[in-house]
């Protein structure tokens, strides 16, 4: 066990560096003064290089070789860690440390340029930075290596084993079926005025209510917190330190609430991972498609249900007295109202995947050379109009709305739709295994569902690939039809 123990110590040391990076990244998105951005970029770049050199050192390779030669039983924590280390080392070793540092420095600067560009709705201000990011991302894909499609190298980082051709085929099958739901679902929603819940919702009251719901779901606030940022996210800074963020609109309490529920789903996954193996593959998330299944499940299947509002409206009315004038059915109907809109994070469940399909197509073109950055707004606006029928009014509500490209997250977006599919399938399996689950949820008892997810998903870390995890959790590989059934039942009934 000595080589294994030495290797564990080395990767735990590397994880401490990543943890420090995460703290600085969280601070960058929440409290960092504008003039401190350049120095923060230097800090993050140095740490990225230090982490990369530690992970790719000759001693790391020798330790992995020694452990593989010794061998471990396939279904053990040690074997899980070893498989993960081999994958992580093989990928990292293909990238020069100088390149890793440059990419880190660029993404740090890009997040601030993006935030300012988004505020100004000024793509021209962001364009040079995005051009540099796309160029670096193409270089990264080429360094990692690919066969059929350059974009495959990027997909594989977020969803190991995924391939562009497979995702494209899935989306080609899904898109027309989603589009067919939009018209009838929008018509069903027409009886609910768009401004039904319009009012004044003080931010302090939103913060209190959001925390109350997230805590009831099971999020541990002794090991986490919620802060404010331009773009909601969740990040894990350590085994007992998970941070959530959201943004607020005083005229719409649902925006921050569902932002928190989405990020709390991520946070529950992070808090449910094996803490004794934190920083090692056995204590790490399986994939982004699995991670997003947790956020989409708690946000939509639980928080977006009528049963949720039957239970929570009285408490919401304490925080927002104006809501006392409405029934749970009215609030639930307003929350699930279907109407094509511009902003992905605020999109209804029916049209949401159309936003993802758009981004997936755009990213493919950008990375594979079929679209230049200068032509991005026009390409975005044209395709968005084809998918939704809406004309994009400005860059803020168009191609500048998401932060992902600023941290070079090309390959990430499709995992939201994979998450939707996985979430619907997981909920179906949870109901099958626990016939009383809906009664528990209706009474605000979320522990049975959380415990099921902990045992079926969270506890396994990277023991299996995402398809294997879904098969073990539900009995089947991921299927799109369960999600379509869920949408039809919820929005067309």
Domain ranges for the chain: 2-132, 164-491
Q: Alpha-carbon dihedral of residues 351, 178, 421, 355, nearest 10 degrees?
A: -40
Query: Active-site residues: which are they?
Result: 263
pTM: 0.96
**What is the Cα–Cα distance from 143 to 122, expressed in whole angstroms?**
32
Residue 126 has φ and ψ, to the nearest 5°, of -90, -25
Low-confidence ranges of the chain (pLDDT < 70): none
Say what the pLDDT of residue 493 is: 85
The two structure tokens encoding residue 276: 């004794």
Tens of pLDDT, residues 22-48: 999 999 999 999 899 999 999 999 999
Residues in the chain: 493
Say what the pLDDT of residue 230 is: 84
| CATH architecture, domain defined by 164-491 | Orthogonal Bundle (1.10)
Say what the pLDDT of residue 9 is: 96
**What is the Cα–Cα distance from 291 to 294, expressed in whole angstroms?**
5
Say what the pLDDT of residue 231 is: 84
Give every CB contact of residue 104 below 8 A, 6+ residues apart in sequence. Answer: 41, 44, 45, 47, 48, 49
Tens of pLDDT, residues 189-202: 999 999 999 999 99
DSSP 480: S
């Amino acid at each position: 066990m000595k080589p294994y123990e030495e290797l564990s110590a080395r990767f735990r040391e590397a994880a401490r560096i990543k943890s420090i990076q995460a703290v600085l990244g969280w601070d960058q998105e929440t409290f960092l003064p504008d003039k401190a951005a350049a120095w923060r970029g230097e800090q993050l770049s140095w740490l990225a290089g230090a982490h990369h050199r530690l992970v790719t050192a000759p001693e790391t390779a020798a330790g992995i070789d020694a452990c593989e030669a010794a061998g471990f039983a396939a279904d053990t924590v040690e074997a899980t860690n070893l498989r993960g280390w081999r994958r992580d080392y093989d990928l990292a070793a293909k990238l020069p440390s100088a390149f890793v540092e440059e990419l880190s420095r660029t993404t740090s600067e890009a997040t601030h340029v993006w935030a300012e560009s988004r505020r100004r709705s000024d793509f021209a201000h962001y364009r040079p930075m995005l051009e540099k990011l796309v160029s670096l991302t193409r270089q990264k894909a080429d360094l990692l290596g690919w066969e059929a499609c350059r974009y495959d190298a990027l997909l594989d980082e977020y969803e190991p084993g995924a391939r562009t051709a497979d995702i494209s085929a899935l989306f080609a099958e899904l898109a027309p079926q989603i589009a067919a739901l939009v018209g009838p679902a929008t018509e069903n929603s027409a009886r609910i005025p768009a401004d039904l819940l319009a009012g004044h919702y003080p931010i302090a009251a939103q913060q209190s209510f959001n925390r109350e719901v997230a805590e009831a779901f099971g999020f541990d606030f002794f090991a986490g917190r919620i802060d404010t940022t331009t773009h909601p996210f969740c990040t894990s800074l350590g085994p007992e330190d998970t941070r959530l963020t959201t943004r607020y609109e005083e005229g719409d309490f649902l925006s921050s609430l569902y932002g928190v529920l989405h990020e709390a789903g991520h946070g529950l996954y992070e808090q449910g991972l094996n803490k004794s193996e934190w920083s090692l593959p056995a204590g790490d998330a399986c994939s982004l498609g699995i991670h997003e299944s947790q956020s989409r499940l708690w946000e939509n299947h639980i928080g977006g249900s009528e049963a949720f509002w039957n239970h929570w409206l009285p408490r919401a009315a304490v925080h927002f007295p104006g809501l006392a004038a409405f029934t749970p059915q009215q609030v639930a109907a307003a929350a699930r109202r279907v109407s094509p809109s511009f902003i992905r994070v605020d999109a209804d469940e029916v049209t949401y995947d159309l936003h993802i399909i758009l981004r997936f197509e755009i990213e493919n073109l950008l990375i594979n050379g079929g679209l230049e950055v200068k032509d991005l707004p026009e390409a975005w606006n044209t395709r968005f109009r084809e998918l939704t029928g809406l004309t994009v009014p400005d860059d803020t509500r168009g191609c500048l709305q998401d932060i992902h490209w600023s941290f070079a997250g090309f390959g990430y977006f499709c995992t939201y739709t994979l998450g939707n599919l996985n979430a619907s399938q997981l909920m179906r399996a949870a109901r099958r295994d626990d016939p009383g689950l809906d009664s528990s949820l209706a009474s605000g008892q979320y522990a049975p569902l959380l415990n099921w997810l902990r045992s079926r998903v969270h506890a396994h870390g990277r023991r299996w690939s995402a398809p294997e995890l879904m098969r073990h959790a539900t009995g089947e590989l991921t299927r799109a039809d369960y999600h379509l059934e869920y949408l039809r039942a919820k929005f067309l009934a």
